[in-house]
Amino acid sequence: MNGLHYWRAMWGIIVRELMRFVRQRERFISALVRPLIWLFIFAAGFRATLGLAIIPPYETYILYEVYITPGLIGMIQLFNGMQSSLSMVYDREMGSMRILMVCPLPRWFLLASKLIAGVAVSIVQVYVFLIIAWFYDIEAPLEGYLWIFPALILSGLMLGALGLLLSSFIKQLENFAGVMNFVIFPMFFMSTALYPLWKMKESSEVLHHLAHYNPFSQAVELIRFALYGQFNESAFVYTLIAFVIFMMAAVLGYNPSKGMMMKKGGR
């Protein structure tokens, strides 16, 4: 086992994931249509009811569509993270997960490779979304499109690791619908994706706190600032820590002597 072995294995996993992605064209289209519906319909209708003050990183009054765009980018990655973990549950039910798990590499590395492959797919989706948004006159400064790249890697890793962690708990595919309801929706609505924090404070103090400590909010803020060429340090640190915690828990979840592989305490 050497570095080359690791590299080849990771590349193999990424190529497989991309091939599956290309194959499932419906998945790509639906991943794109979802945020576009929010942008074209929800945001357009909603902008009349919500007045936005000038808050960083914005320097002027903005349209609601502009505010919501980073949140929708986060949404793409959130769904993608959950989707790739869904595919892990599927793989496990279908048995192809076993092929991965019996190859002679450490499990954490295999999981990390899976994760990176998923992030790569999500970044492709985000850029396609941004191009469409550009034609809808949602334009960020050009360098923002460059700065957003590292931010997307980190936020994608964090959300992917969360999906991975969840997938280690889910034994069957059917249970996944519950996770969609209990994880994706609360995370998305209880975040700064759709409304700024200060606005939330006006209606509920509790909601404001929950949204503030929601890692998804922090990922969205990281993306929001990066899109305007700014670095949000606290969001970066928060997202990074969340990633490390989720990842470690996921590796533990896939550890053969603990977690889901034991199916409730085999000894």
- Closest contact distance (angstroms) between CB of 22 and other proteins is 10
Q: Does 26 bind other proteins (CB under 8 A)?
A: no
Q: Does 262 bind other proteins (CB under 8 A)?
A: yes
Binder of other proteins out of 56, 106, 178, 186 (CB under 8 A): 106
Q: Which is nearer to other proteins, 25 or 53 (CB)?
A: 25
Contact 73, 130 (CB under 8 A): yes
Q: Which is nearer to other proteins, 49 or 257 (CB)?
A: 257
Q: Which is nearer to other proteins, 51 or 95 (CB)?
A: 95
Q: Does 19 bind other proteins (CB under 8 A)?
A: yes
- Closest contact distance (angstroms) between CB of 255 and other proteins is 8
Binder of other proteins out of 25, 53, 203, 263 (CB under 8 A): 263
Contact 214, 239 (CB under 8 A): no
Q: Which of residues 134-193 bind other proteins (CB under 8 A)?
A: none
- Closest contact distance (angstroms) between CB of 162 and other proteins is 24
Contact 164, 250 (CB under 8 A): yes
Q: Does 12 bind other proteins (CB under 8 A)?
A: yes
Structure-token match 């890793």, residue found: 157
Number of alpha helices (DSSP H) and beta strands (DSSP E) in the chain = 13, 0
Stretch in the footprint of other proteins (CB under 8 A) among 16-24, 81-89, 150-158, 213-221: 16-24
Interatomic CA distance for residues 187 and 189, integer angstroms: 6
Q: Which is nearer to other proteins, 41 or 262 (CB)?
A: 262
* DSSP designation for 250: H
Structure tokens at 173: 């595919």
Q: Does 208 bind other proteins (CB under 8 A)?
A: no
Number of residues in contact with other proteins, rule: CB under 8 A?
36
Peptide bond before 57: cis, by omega within 30 degrees of 0?
yes
Characterize 223-253 residue by residue with b for buried, 16 or more Cβ atoms within 10 angstroms of its Cβ, and e for exposed. Answer: bbbbbbbeebeebbebbeebbeebbebbbeb
Q: Which of 230, 32, 219 is nearest to 131 (CA)?
A: 32
Contact 224, 197 (CB under 8 A): no
Binding mask 86-105 for other proteins (x = CB under 8 A): --------xxx-xxxxxxxx
Q: Using CB under 8 A as the criterion, which residues of the chain lie in contact with other proteins when the complex forms?
A: 1-2, 4-6, 8-9, 11-13, 15-16, 19-20, 23, 94-96, 98-106, 256-257, 261-267
